[in-house]
């Protein structure tokens, strides 16, 4: 594999343009919005989603100047969703920093999340494209459905792989898919390119969430920026666990469920579970599934001629698999 750490250097100008657009389009009016939205927006996010919009538009031959402004729709939507999800999850840290609601309170986090969602809509309207607006409305609905679906299934040891796939598609993948698709729409190309970029983004988003879910079992807490085992403590069953529960003999399954259901599990219990996930193939299965989706993501780009942009988008797919962006 090529040096994927080199990606930021290859898109330096794009990232700078996105940073400027993120600040200029925020239009906060109130200090409280500036501070709270700034805390979540300017805290070391990798700008994966807006970058994908800009690259997708370029891959479709776009040479105009609106791509960066419209790309921030997806960073605002992402930030809005993080603000609300952190409340839902009762999370304490994100990217190694205290979450917004622990600093400003849940009420501010709810309202600033609403504000960022509204800003992303206002920007979508500025595209004057009914297709773009329809995409934004659709994914906003899917994202809230996905989060609610996850909430309903909290702690449910019978969660199926199909339900897990539906949850991660809605809560993570549709946003990344839309970021790519809107790049095609901004460029004004045909449905074939629009569909290909949707597929690229959707598959990458699925792999990305799987890789993120794996981190909860494989990272150390410093790399992760939050506590290891946090998903499980919140009652979130992810693919490594779902697969292993199904693969285990009844006796082992009972032991696994005992650990999962006790949310204050000890470090020792967590390590016991981790060994079970490894021995029953849950970690490996998830890694393979994620890799297959990355492969599908890259295949979806095959309709485009080779170019530097296409190469970078291939590297981003590889990178999404390796670490959380």
Binding site for a copy of itself (CB under 8 A): 29-33, 84, 87-88, 106-108, 110-112, 114-115, 117-119, 121-122, 124-125, 128, 130, 133-134, 136-138, 140-141, 143-145, 147-149, 151-152
Residue 4 or 111 with smaller CB distance to a copy of itself = 111
Residue 88 or 303 with smaller CB distance to a copy of itself = 88
Q: Which residue has the tokens 């996010």?
A: 45
Q: Which residue has the tokens 């981190």?
A: 215
CA 103 to chain centre: 23
CB of 57 to a copy of itself, least distance (A): 21
292/300 Cα distance (integer angstroms): 12
242/115 Cα distance (integer angstroms): 36
Residue 106 or 272 with smaller CB distance to a copy of itself = 106
CB of 91 to a copy of itself, least distance (A): 11
Residue 235 or 281 with smaller CB distance to a copy of itself = 235
CB of 133 to a copy of itself, least distance (A): 6
Residue 20 or 107 with smaller CB distance to a copy of itself = 107
Contact at 8 Å (CB) between 304 and 312? no
CB of 21 to a copy of itself, least distance (A): 18
CB of 81 to a copy of itself, least distance (A): 8
CB of 104 to a copy of itself, least distance (A): 10
Residue 89 or 212 with smaller CB distance to a copy of itself = 89
Residue 66 or 311 with smaller CB distance to a copy of itself = 66
CB of 27 to a copy of itself, least distance (A): 9
Give DSSP secondary structure letters for 6-67. GHHHHTHHHHHHHHHHHHHTT---SHHHHHHHHHHHTSS---HHHHHHHHHHHHTT--SS-H
Phi and psi dihedrals of 98, rounded to 5? -60, 140
**Which residue stretches of the chain are H helix?**
7-10, 12-24, 31-41, 48-59, 67-89, 100-104, 106-126, 130-152, 161-168, 174-187, 191-218, 221-224, 230-233, 239-247, 250-261, 267-279, 282-300, 308-322
């Amino acid at each position: 594999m090529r040096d994927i750490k080199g990606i930021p250097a290859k898109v330096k100008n794009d990232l700078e343009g996105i940073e400027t657009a993120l600040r200029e389009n925020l239009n906060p009016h109130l200090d409280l919005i500036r501070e709270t939205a700034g805390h979540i927006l300017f805290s070391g996010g990798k700008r994966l989603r807006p970058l994908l919009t800009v690259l997708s538009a370029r891959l479709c031959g776009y040479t105009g100047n609106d791509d960066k402004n419209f790309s921030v729709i997806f960073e605002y939507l992402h930030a809005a969703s993080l603000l609300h999800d952190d409340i839902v999850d009762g999370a304490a840290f994100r990217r190694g920093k205290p979450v917004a609601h622990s600093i400003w309170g849940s009420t501010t986090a709810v309202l600033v999340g609403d504000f960022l969602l509204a800003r992303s809509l206002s920007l979508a309207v500025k595209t004057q494209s009914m297709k773009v607006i329809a995409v934004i409305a659709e994914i906003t609905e899917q994202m809230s459905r996905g989060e609610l679906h996850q909430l309903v299934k909290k702690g449910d040891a019978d969660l199926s792989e199909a339900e897990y796939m539906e949850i991660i598609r809605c809560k993570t993948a549709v946003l990344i898919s839309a970021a790519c698709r809107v790049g095609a729409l901004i460029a004004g190309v045909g449905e074939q390119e629009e569909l290909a970029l949707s597929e690229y983004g959707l598959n990458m988003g699925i792999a990305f969430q799987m890789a993120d879910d794996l981190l909860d079992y494989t990272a150390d807490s410093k790399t992760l920026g939050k506590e290891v085992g946090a998903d499980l403590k919140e009652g979130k069953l992810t693919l490594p666990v779902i697969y292993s529960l199904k693969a285990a003999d009844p006796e082992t399954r009972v032991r696994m469920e005992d650990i999962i259901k006790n949310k204050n599990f000890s470090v020792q219990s967590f390590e016991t579970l981790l060994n079970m996930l490894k021995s029953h193939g849950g970690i490996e299965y998830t890694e393979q599934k994620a890799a297959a989706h990355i492969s599908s993501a890259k295949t979806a780009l095959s309709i485009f001629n080779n170019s530097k942009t296409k190469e970078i988008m291939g590297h981003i797919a590889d990178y999404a698999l390796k670490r959380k962006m």
